[in-house]
Chain A
Amino acid sequence: MSDVPILLEMRSITKEFPGVKALSDVNLVVRAGEIHAICGENGAGKSTLMKVLSGVYPYGTYDGQIIYQGAETRFSDIRASENAGIVIIHQELALIPGMSIAENIFLGNEPRKRGAIDWTAANRMALDLMARVGLEEDPDTLIKDIGVGKQQLVEIAKAFAKDVKLLILDEPTAALNEADSRHLLDLLRGFRSRGITSIMISHKLNEIEAIADQITILRDGRTVETLDVRADGVDEDRIVRGMVGRELSSRFPDHTPKIGEVFFEVRDWNVRHPISAERQVCKNESFVVRRGEIVGFAGLMGAGRTELAMSVFGRSYGVYESGTIIKDGKEIVLKSVADAIDHGLAYVSEDRKAIGLNLLDDIKSSTVAAKLSKISHRGVLDEVEEYKAAEAYRKELRTKAPTVDESVSKLSGGNQQKVVLAKWMFTDPDLLILDEPTRGIDVGAKYEIYGIIQRLADQGKGVVVISSELPELIGLCDRIYTVFEGAITGEIARADATPENLMKQMTSTKKMLTR
């Protein structure tokens, strides 16, 4: 690779925030036409580095040099870097849901004719750009009416509209299902063959291994190493070693399950969509959970796993139609979230920032938020008990924060997830439903979260894990249900679980459950 010209070089970049060095002396060399992955745990400085590169932190707020296309550049803002052909696509997509695909692609960059927007040209150009990213939709379709995978493609098309030379993708596949992820990765390969350079930040090491040419690993704001994937024979374990600075012998803690009798059962669960009542999101679904058991729910995005979980959790999603919940041999009716909490259910949502946490809160009040009655006497909160409870969970879960007075918005994803777990452990649940519990969390923190889940099961609680990562389900769960289009299509014991047979049942309407 060394004969290929260097497109971008970032030399000894140092970026300080009040009281902390986010980046110190970081070097990055990206050659033209390669896919360059940047790996590192949460907090390693990946996003900060990309913000320096794209001008979010303008020249002068950091030390070091950026050499781009052979000359030193000093971007004053994002526009400046975009004009130079550097486009960053953030994890949280920056699209406007109520606008059409074409409108979004040309937002801020509208083709004009005599001052007015030339929509004929815009639509024609949009179709051309959409073809380049393999998006087959009417450019007049609204963003909110297409799936996340297609939205991601719109973002990339938007980048092409700006004549991109260096495409930066921050966690591009985090919210995508397997098929969409594969499509995206194929797309990146296609770009490479046409000479477009990409930088990709991802936690999904298998994807990085499959697609990247070079990998730069950051740890604690420093460059650890840059690996040449083919020449160095890099595999996932090698990347993990660089990221955490030690060998991670297993991705899952050792665990011998202690499974008891069935204590929670959902029978013939039927729920309709909250807005379009003709759509049935849960079709006659039944499942059981035993004490001490970790039960997985596998399915493609949109299969209705979250909808099932939330509708069971106090009807917090959709319109309940029929079905019963049996706990400890007695039928229970959960009409509200408060009912569900009182009956010992807990639901850790898939999107912790949007619906899991109040980001204005500190760790302390977040921890007790779902069961204030536990720290109050006759309706009056006891601050000391609140502090002690929060502090106990901080220690138990090893949440990294100086004190429990810290705002949760300042924590990394893994630590935020620990706060959410603490919040639900605090309610003393019998059944925990964890929806994508490790999404957007780095390898080290994942391992810790798995350990917490196993400990909860060992305390005799039932744990339901919904996950889009099949290896996670196979590694963690004692039993896995597969869900397809709102129906449970299979039940697979741990011993029989392989990605292949899970995938088969996750994508088939054939009902294999006969119970």
Chain B
Amino acid sequence: MSRLKDLQKNLFGGTTSNARQFGMIFTLVAIVVLFQFLTDGLTLRSDNLIALFQQNSYILILAIGMLMVIVAGHIDLSVGSVAAFAGILVAKSMSDWSLPWPVAILFGLAIGAIIGAWQGFWVAYIGVPAFIVTLAGMLLFRGGNQYIGNANTIPVPEGFREIGSGFLPEFGPNTGYNNATLLLGLAAAVAVVWREIQARKTRRAMDADPAPMWISILRMAIMVGVIAFASLRFASGRVGTSFPISGIILLVLVIAYSFYTRNTAGGRHIYAVGGNSRAAELSGVKLKRVNFFVMMNMSVLAALAGMIFVARSAASGPQDGNGWELDAIAAVFIGGAAVSGGIGTISGSIVGGLVMAVLNNGLQLMGVGTDRVQIIKGLVLLLAVAIDVYNKKQGRFSIIGSLMRPFRRDDSAPPASPPNAEREPAKAAVSG
């Protein structure tokens, strides 16, 4: 009994946000298992997993930027159009001005930065709501894409396509697997173990008891298991395929931005602005700079996402990026961000994006038409946020509360927090 409680409390950390993430991961696993069953094992097949990542990496990259925008209390509706605009300019720069593709990528990022500076200027320095600025941007840059491309598609050269449809290279002895992918998996496994050790050290330095050893080991075992499974799957696909390059880009961005948002002053300022902008300002946070940065950063990531998409589809077209903003926003909110800002994590948004991606993919594998897929996705978004809102009103911890309830035999214990931590503050919260 107490072991079960320990497990709930500690498996993915004891804090609220971790509990939320656990709920999300739980949901993701449940959906994967469900579709694995419904599609007779198609979902977790190598080629499907690879396609899943390639098809969704650009949405997940957008979700990273969108998370920061939403945490700061804004929204960005223009990302799909910005992606398309950057995509067509980059395609044109290579076909008409014959820029070498690496230079073209830098050029694309620069376009993103300029567009971002434009939007950030209006939001941060003039004070126009981001909703309006980016609604205008959505029209502006969609029109820009079609104006520049004459509403035609422009193909892109071979080398450039690598960032969208390339894979980790083959090298070394013939193991029957892709060695690079295996190495990547190994590195990830080492990283997981190292992080666990660091986390235990930090807990001890904070005079707090780290989670029981068996939980740490269980947690590491689960994660290493998942990594091993995934890397074997990715490494054993059709010949010539392995872990996609776009996945690598995504991975690097997730790690870098997670670090930035969690462990640096700049990242914390974004949360401060979203939580209470006036209080942040009076604590020395440069409000305008933060707002400018998140808007600008979003457009740079949108340009990158646009380029990856163009690379994958081998050409830039007038309809690229249609509706991306909604997918990215949905991923962030399913991932537990607050509509009013100040709350949300990168990893949560990624899991949220993956939930949508797996859902999409699984339904397609089952032969469900796009009409019904959209209906289901809409309902899932509504339901996920509704459960969250409902549980918050009930004073429970978000999704995990509802998910764990059937497993909880001792109903008096609050789901993810030690009872003694509840007593004092709960009293204060209801005080006069």
Contacts and interface: CB of A to CB of B under 8 A. Distances in A.
Interface in B250-290: 263-266, 268-269, 271-272, 275-276, 278-286
B432 A45 contact: yes
Given A360-B343, A381-B268, A43 B425 contact: no
B268 A411 contact: no
Interface string B415-432: 000011111111111111
B202 interface: yes
Interface stretch (A110-118, A191-199, A333-341): A333-341
Contact of A405 (B15, B269, B428): B15
A43 B427 CA distance: 6
Interface in A27-53: 38, 40, 42-48
Contacts of A40: 432
A71 interface: no
Contacts of A338: 284, 286
A372 interface: yes
A297 interface: no
A201 interface: yes
Nearest to B272: A358
- For chain A, the bracket of interface size reads 35 or more
Contact of B263 (A18, A44, A314, A381): A381
A357 B286 contact: no
Interface in B324-369: 338, 342-343
A376 interface: yes
A60 interface: no
Contacts of A388: 206
A340 B421 CA distance: 37
Given A19-B426, A355-B276, A384-B202, A373 B265 contact: yes
A355 B280 CA distance: 8
B237 interface: no
Contacts of A48: 430-432
Given A316-B282, A406-B424, 5 more contacts: A38-B432, A42-B432, A45-B432, A381-B268, A384-B206
A501 B159 CA distance: 84
Interface in A391-441: 391, 400-403, 405-407, 409-412, 415, 423
A17 B282 contact: no
B414 A18 contact: yes
Contact of B431 (A43, A401, A406, A423): A43
Contacts of A360: 271, 275-276, 338, 342-343
Nearest to A356: B279
22 contacts: A17-B426, A18-B426, A20-B427, A46-B431, A48-B431, A337-B281, A337-B284, A355-B276, A356-B282, A357-B279, A358-B276, A372-B269, A373-B265, A380-B264, A381-B263, A381-B264, A381-B265, A384-B202, A400-B428, A402-B420, A410-B428, A411-B428
Nearest to A40: B432
Interface residues of B, number: 44
A314 B343 CA distance: 28
B430 A17 contact: yes
B284 A370 contact: yes
B213 interface: no
B423 A20 contact: yes
A312 to B, nearest CB: 13
A492 interface: no
A379 B265 contact: yes
B395 interface: yes
A287 B422 CA distance: 47
Given A358-B342, A369-B272, A384-B202, A337 B283 contact: yes
B425 A347 contact: no
Interface string A189-225: 0000000000001000000000000000000010000
Contacts of A104: none
Given A359-B276, A402-B424, A405-B15, A384 B205 contact: yes
A145 B285 CA distance: 31
A354 interface: yes
A448 interface: no
Nearest to A364: B206
Contacts of A403: 208, 421
Contacts of A340: 284
Contacts, number: 156
Contacts of A376: 264-265
Contacts of A371: 284
A161 to B, nearest CB: 26
B282 A337 contact: yes
Contacts of B208: 403
A358 B432 contact: no
A416 to B, nearest CB: 9
Interface string A464-499: 000000000000000000000000000000000000
A22 B430 contact: yes
Contacts of B431: 42-48, 412
Nearest to A351: B278
Given A316-B282, A355-B276, A357-B279, A19 B265 contact: no
A458 interface: no
Contacts of B264: 376, 379-381
A77 interface: no
A365 interface: yes
A63 interface: no
Contact of A383 (B202, B343, B422, B428): B202
B150 to A, nearest CB: 46
A43 B206 contact: no
A400 B424 contact: yes
A265 interface: no
A298 B75 CA distance: 44
A341 B278 CA distance: 16
A361 interface: yes
Interface string B229-258: 000000000000000000000000000000
A408 B342 CA distance: 14
Given A358-B279, A402-B420, A19 B432 contact: no
Contacts of B269: 372
Contacts of A412: 428, 431
B43 to A, nearest CB: 37
A391 B427 CA distance: 21
B422 A19 contact: yes
A423 B265 contact: no
A57 to B, nearest CB: 9
B285 to A, nearest CB: 8
A347 B282 contact: yes
A423 B283 contact: yes
Contacts of B424: 400-402, 406
Most B CB contacts (10 A, CB to CB) among A47, A48, A358, A372 go to A358
A372 B414 CA distance: 33
Contact of B422 (A18, A365, A372, A379): A18
A223 to B, nearest CB: 14
A262 B264 CA distance: 38
A316 B205 contact: no
Contacts of B422: 18-20
Contact of B275 (A42, A221, A361): A361
A86 to B, nearest CB: 18
A387 interface: yes
Nearest to A369: B283
Interface string B201-221: 010011110000000000000
Contacts of B281: 316, 337
